[in-house]
Structure 1
Amino acid sequence: MKLFFSRLHKKIAAIVTAGLLGAGVYLPLPKAEAVDAWGAAAQALGVFAAYKSSLASILALGNNVSAQVQSRAQDIEKNGLDPNAHDVQVVNEVMEQLVSKGHYVLKVNSLPFVWAVNDSKDFNASCYPTNYISVNRALVRGMNLEPDELAAVFAHEMTHGVEQHSAKNYAKAVAQYMGMSMINMDTGSMDWNKLNGLAGYSIAKNVTLPTENEADEGGFYIMTSAGFNPGGGAAAMARMAYYLTYETQNFLEYQDPDPKKQERESYSDHPETRQREDRLAQMMSDYGCGHVTVQDRKDIFIDGEKLLTVEATTEDYNNTMENAYLVAGALAKAFHDYDSIAGWNFHPDKDGNITCLRADRVNAALQKFIVMRKAGDRLQALVAKAYAGEAASGARQKMRAAESKRAQNLAVQREAVLNADGKAVKKMRENADTYSDFGWGEKASQQMQRVFASRNMDNLAESQSISARAKAVNGDFAGALSEADKAVAADSKNIYTYLNRADIYHMQGELDMALADLAKAKEIDKNNAISYYLSAVIEDERGNVEAAKADFAELYRLQPKAVNQIPDAYLQDIAPKAYEARQKQKAEARKKYAEQWKKEQKEK
């Protein structure tokens, strides 16, 4: 059993980093009649306990700023950073728009999204349990840096984070493996290799696959609410299918062009690409009151009447399908956004061609093809006819009702966050301060906005002091000191109001003021190690060796595990044995490095 569970944890570890799992699992139990009723009940309780324990562990990981920072660091260490500044700029712009304008609600125990573009050649993006979104360079290039298509992919990953799919489904995977192994021990129905294969297949189909569909749907509404083209999702799937068939250099990614040979949904933990394309195309149509459809992946129809046919607009590959969905998406967005034809702003362009809508990226493909096909007059007539028929069809009321239901669900989720208990709010505040520790002032301020919005904020003064420190990390020292002063005035007995103001003074170079606050902090709590550490650092900067040594010594006495924070020059006198152990470690590290360097030179 030890070997089996070792394989289990290695296998499902990949689930955690991908963040792409999901729903419940219901399996027939082989020879279940052979299992004693009391034994079955005990097993069920054990499996449930395993599920709850695993879920709690991964949720805790997902609410840990240090783990989030480490997620990003490990990704970059493994894959490197994309060296192309334009790639990074496009991804940043898309993600910033999604994060700031998209409609979604982060759970109280979730962190704000962070992301990076790595240098991996694999066509992929993933959301870690920590809400770190890893974007591979190959995906950005594979999507030709098309913002609306990238938005669909990134919003899909955001949905995995919002719904905490990684944590929930890692726990379900652990529970399923455990449950099936227990039953197998009782019944002896199959060998462990077959059991392992069956469990993996069942998790892919019954756990992972449903959440992929959920992430497609959730991502669609995040990206459309952020202002992206509603056809971006279907276009992304069409582009992905082409890339995986004709361009990928990774044979593991290859997708056969014959749909009959693909049959990916029979064994994959992701839906078949064409099915995803069709579902996203239907969502696009529903978003636009059902008026707009794409047929044969190239013909655009409004209420069953053909408007125009698109064609490829690049010599590099056939992008007809993408053009079709981006044209249709612009139409769907206009039908969604405007309750009458007046909002379309039909007008002649400088060459006398009838065009409409704003001249922006979302509408660019539509405007190009209506001019190319001389279809402006026909579009205007079809749009007018579509609005005229809405009263009878109820199309707009149906669309608005669906949108209202989504808004109500988000409102319920917001209320849950606003009413979070004091313990959860305290954790948000601690996360904000940790962001400041890492120099991520903007994320710290975002967390503090959530704290101040909470109805059960437990400590105003401490919240103000942490918010002040975040402002200082962002470079707003005037605002930081103003808020820090308010925190001290609100609670002059709270040690953290002084510690945070001292840190702000330190950042400004006001060392005397910082030491004065640290002295006050020591008076309030002589056993708080942070006060002595900060004092030691400042005294060392000022060249006051004896004062610095005294503070470092007190730090070591109060918190021996903080030994790594003490410089050699002081540690040698404060803790000679710890100093000797450190020197030994350094010598071993240098020796190992030298041996590795010699090995590499010989291989060259």
Structure 2
Amino acid sequence: MNIGKKLRAAILAALLTFAPLHSAAPVEAAALNPVLIGMSALGGYLAYQGTLKEMLAIGNNVDYQISGLKQDMEENGEDKDALNREVVDRVLGRLTEHGEYALSINSLPFLWRVNASDAFNAACYPTDYITVNRGLVRALHHDEDELAAVLGHEMTHGLRQHSAKNYAKAVAESYAGIAIGSAADNLDWQKLNAIVGYAIAKDVTLPSEIEADEGGFYLMTTAGFNPGGGAAAMARMAYYLTYETQDIREYQDPFEDPNAPNYNDHPAMLERIERLAGMMCAYGMGHVTVKNGADVYIDGEKLLTADWDADYNNTQENAYLIAGGLAKAFHDHAAFADWQFTTAPNGRISYLNEDRVYEKLKKFVARHHAEERLAMLVRTAYASSEDKTMRKKIAAEEKARSDTWQKIREKALDAKGELVKQLRYNADRYSDNGMAKEALFLMERAFAAKNPDDIAENYAIRGRARAVAGDYSAALADSDHAVELDAKNIYNFLNRADVHRMMGEREKALADLEKSQALDEKNPFIYKMRGEIYNETGEKDAALAAYKDYWRYAPNAQDIPDEYMKDVDAEAYDKIIKEREKKELEKAEKEKDKMGEKT
């Protein structure tokens, strides 16, 4: 959620590198060189286009995605609390599998982890890696609807490729600032830096945060979560950051003037609550509203007043979750009869189903003995002419959103061969890391593309991914077909060799490596895999010989086991050990610094 602040800091740091820090008189219009200003506009545009291309390429590379994941875990540690991980896995699993969205052809599937940071935060990297702080999960008390709103927000950043686009825009803004400064005779660089920082926050990051709130709302509701979860999450965040946080960097002043100039790159909390509450109301066909942070209304008639039921005052959260349950029921059911109000012999009134999304609604309606009033208000709501009008409006808006996602899917099917080639590369790198699900997802996209680029290689890489998944029969069928289609592509044999190896068929794997060597004896992967096979079978001399050949054709390789590397190249081995010790020392120093900060 605060990744935008890091982005702005990086851009401003770059700007300060080029700008002198002395004070000067404010810039005057007459002092600006119009030619240089025109050139700065063109330069800013070119900077934007070049940076955007580079950032999108980074975002579509599995190596960067996994590197970001590993760096996050190294810096923050992985959360050891099973409950935290389980609830995040459950929520993001449901969002990714059941929410309505479409990935651009140059976007990676989402990965996520819960890190051990206690800060109230989550962020989506340009590579669609989502990091979730355990501090966020705990502060939201594991509430799945509130987490769905926050994580849907982060997913929307990824789906809209906000990080790449915002970084490119920020570079362009900074470029323009530097150009203006260079074109001015007298300029206060510190003021210019402040102006650029403010512009990045308000013109670049802030609009994407508003878009992410909106996209997250529709993503979570299509996945079946409570439509009040977004407003409830913002209410919880406001309470936590004002009254509970022990981190001065998170604290917000509840009495701060919201209209005063500031560098905040996120919308004001009250504004976010009101916007998300308005979206919840519209989702419920306009019937449901919350007033005074506690009173739940249906078409202007008060149903009940929420209260708190936790170890802190969560009244406002409860009000939005109650209202969200009503909104979902109005949205999902076209008629009063669909609510299935029935009276049992004991006089108790039941309605709707036992879906978790209605828990707060049913709890507080029962507490207030408001079942009959609820039935009466719901019946009246469906009888109004506004209900039918609103249903047509909401249906049209939902169709428009679905059509937009469909266009993205169709554009992906029309992808150029280079993008399909990148799908294969990314799939193979997922397989390298034992991530069969992600590899097979990308290969499904590659096969669906109208321009498959290299059909034989598609089969080879899907075959390897299937072997990683343990489906050896299908893996071998794909691998054999790849070789049948193209027996001149060395990678088709290398992939099949790896499939045989995973199946435990050592001799067949080595035979395919022989065929690979006949096609290109300088390909280092032949010797790498051969060394691994011999090492696995305990044939140390043969493994050493293979690793020596591997080093000859890949002299910067970092994946030769230590027991062989010291005999392959003793000098290089010593450098590797020293570099490893240096990194471990740096890591220990960072851990020591973190412990010092906590104490």
Length-normalised TM-score, structure 2: 0.90
Q: 1:470 to 1:127 in 2, by over 3 A?
A: same
The match for 2:451 is 456
1:276 aligned partner, one-letter code = R
* Offset of residue 582 of structure 1: 2.3
Q: Separation in 2 of the partners of 1:590 and 1:295?
A: 60
| Alignment pair present for 1:268 and 2:259 | no
5 Å matches for 1:137-536? 137-258=134-255, 260-261=256-257, 266-314=262-310, 316-348=311-343, 351-390=346-385, 394-536=389-531
Kindly indicate whether the alpha-carbon contact (under 8 Å) linking 1:334 and 1:344 is maintained by their aligned counterparts in 2. Answer: yes
The match for 2:21 is none
5 Å matches for 1:8-23? 11-12=9-10
The match for 1:41 is 38
Q: State the Cα deviation string for residues 53-76 of structure 1 (Å, max 9, x = none).
A: 221221111111111111111111
Q: Separation in 2 of the partners of 1:14 and 1:184?
A: 14
Q: Separation in 2 of the partners of 1:313 and 1:15?
A: 46
SS in structure 2 of the partner of residue 149 of structure 1:
helix
* Offset of residue 462 of structure 1: 1.2
Q: Separation in 2 of the partners of 1:153 and 1:226?
A: 14
| Aligned pair partner of 2:571 in 569, 576, 580 | 580
* Offset of residue 104 of structure 1: 1.1
Q: 1:121 to 1:372 in 2, by over 3 A?
A: same
Aligned CA RMSD, in angstroms, stands at 2.8
Q: Separation in 2 of the partners of 1:568 and 1:326?
A: 57
Q: Separation in 2 of the partners of 1:418 and 1:184?
A: 46
Q: Separation in 2 of the partners of 1:596 and 1:452?
A: 43
| Aligned pair partner of 2:532 in 512, 528, 537 | 537
Q: 1:441 to 1:495 in 2, by over 3 A?
A: same
2:252 aligned partner, one-letter code = Q
SS in structure 2 of the partner of residue 560 of structure 1:
coil
* Offset of residue 340 of structure 1: 1.3
The match for 2:72 is 75
SS in structure 1 of the partner of residue 102 of structure 2:
coil
SS in structure 1 of the partner of residue 556 of structure 2:
helix
Q: 1:596 to 1:81 in 2, by over 3 A?
A: closer
Q: Separation in 2 of the partners of 1:402 and 1:506?
A: 52
Q: 1:440 to 1:510 in 2, by over 3 A?
A: same
Kindly indicate whether the alpha-carbon contact (under 8 Å) linking 2:284 and 2:331 is maintained by their aligned counterparts in 1. Answer: yes
Q: State the Cα deviation string for residues 305-355 of structure 1 (Å, max 9, x = none).
A: 2222211122x1111111111111111111111211222121235853223
1:518 aligned partner, one-letter code = L
Q: Separation in 2 of the partners of 1:202 and 1:132?
A: 27
Q: 1:100 to 1:585 in 2, by over 3 A?
A: closer
Q: 1:66 to 1:310 in 2, by over 3 A?
A: same
Q: State the Cα deviation string for residues 523-556 of structure 1 (Å, max 9, x = none).
A: 2333322122212322343444554444334333
* Offset of residue 484 of structure 1: 2.0
SS in structure 2 of the partner of residue 249 of structure 1:
coil
Q: Separation in 1 of the partners of 2:431 and 2:240?
A: 41
Q: 1:10 to 1:186 in 2, by over 3 A?
A: same
Q: Separation in 2 of the partners of 1:572 and 1:217?
A: 56
Q: 1:389 to 1:595 in 2, by over 3 A?
A: closer
The match for 1:20 is none
Name which of structure 1's ranges 165-174 and 341-350 shifts more when overlaid on structure 2.
341-350
Q: State the Cα deviation string for residues 20-45 of structure 1 (Å, max 9, x = none).
A: xxxxxxxxx95455444433332222
2:328 aligned partner, one-letter code = K
1:76 aligned partner, one-letter code = M
| Aligned pair partner of 2:96 in 95, 99, 108 | 99
The match for 2:20 is none
Q: Separation in 2 of the partners of 1:522 and 1:90?
A: 49
2:100 aligned partner, one-letter code = H
Unaligned runs of 5+ in 1: 1-7, 17-28
1:379 aligned partner, one-letter code = L
Name which of structure 1's ranges 465-474 and 206-215 shifts more when overlaid on structure 2.
465-474
Q: Separation in 1 of the partners of 2:134 and 2:578?
A: 39
1:522 aligned partner, one-letter code = Q
* Offset of residue 441 of structure 1: 1.4
Kindly indicate whether the alpha-carbon contact (under 8 Å) linking 1:220 and 1:233 is maintained by their aligned counterparts in 2. Answer: yes
* Offset of residue 14 of structure 1: 9.7
Kindly indicate whether the alpha-carbon contact (under 8 Å) linking 2:228 and 2:323 is maintained by their aligned counterparts in 1. Answer: yes
Q: State the Cα deviation string for residues 109-156 of structure 1 (Å, max 9, x = none).
A: 111111111111111001111111110111101101000000000000
Kindly indicate whether the alpha-carbon contact (under 8 Å) linking 2:493 and 2:512 is maintained by their aligned counterparts in 1. Answer: yes
Kindly indicate whether the alpha-carbon contact (under 8 Å) linking 2:431 and 2:464 is maintained by their aligned counterparts in 1. Answer: yes
Q: Separation in 1 of the partners of 2:494 and 2:269?
A: 54
Q: Separation in 2 of the partners of 1:587 and 1:410?
A: 51
| Aligned pair partner of 2:112 in 112, 115, 128 | 115
Kindly indicate whether the alpha-carbon contact (under 8 Å) linking 1:265 and 1:272 is maintained by their aligned counterparts in 2. Answer: no
* Offset of residue 248 of structure 1: 0.5
Q: 1:461 to 1:593 in 2, by over 3 A?
A: closer
SS in structure 2 of the partner of residue 120 of structure 1:
coil
1:274 aligned partner, one-letter code = L
Kindly indicate whether the alpha-carbon contact (under 8 Å) linking 2:8 and 2:201 is maintained by their aligned counterparts in 1. Answer: no
Kindly indicate whether the alpha-carbon contact (under 8 Å) linking 1:204 and 1:268 is maintained by their aligned counterparts in 2. Answer: yes
1:582 aligned partner, one-letter code = Y
Q: Separation in 2 of the partners of 1:118 and 1:271?
A: 25
The match for 1:21 is none
Q: Separation in 2 of the partners of 1:279 and 1:595?
A: 45
1:369 aligned partner, one-letter code = F
Q: Separation in 2 of the partners of 1:330 and 1:388?
A: 20
Q: Share of identical aligned residues, percent?
A: 49
Q: State the Cα deviation string for residues 413-469 of structure 1 (Å, max 9, x = none).
A: 111111111110110111010011111111111211221222211122211221121
Q: How many residues align?
A: 577
1:386 aligned partner, one-letter code = A
Q: Separation in 2 of the partners of 1:137 and 1:573?
A: 45
Q: State the Cα deviation string for residues 58-110 of structure 1 (Å, max 9, x = none).
A: 11111111111111111111111112111110111001000111111111111
* Offset of residue 519 of structure 1: 1.2
Q: Separation in 1 of the partners of 2:127 and 2:392?
A: 39
Name which of structure 1's ranges 128-137 and 534-543 shifts more when overlaid on structure 2.
534-543
Q: Separation in 1 of the partners of 2:318 and 2:147?
A: 15
Kindly indicate whether the alpha-carbon contact (under 8 Å) linking 2:64 and 2:127 is maintained by their aligned counterparts in 1. Answer: yes
SS in structure 2 of the partner of residue 307 of structure 1:
strand
* Offset of residue 478 of structure 1: 2.7
SS in structure 2 of the partner of residue 312 of structure 1:
coil
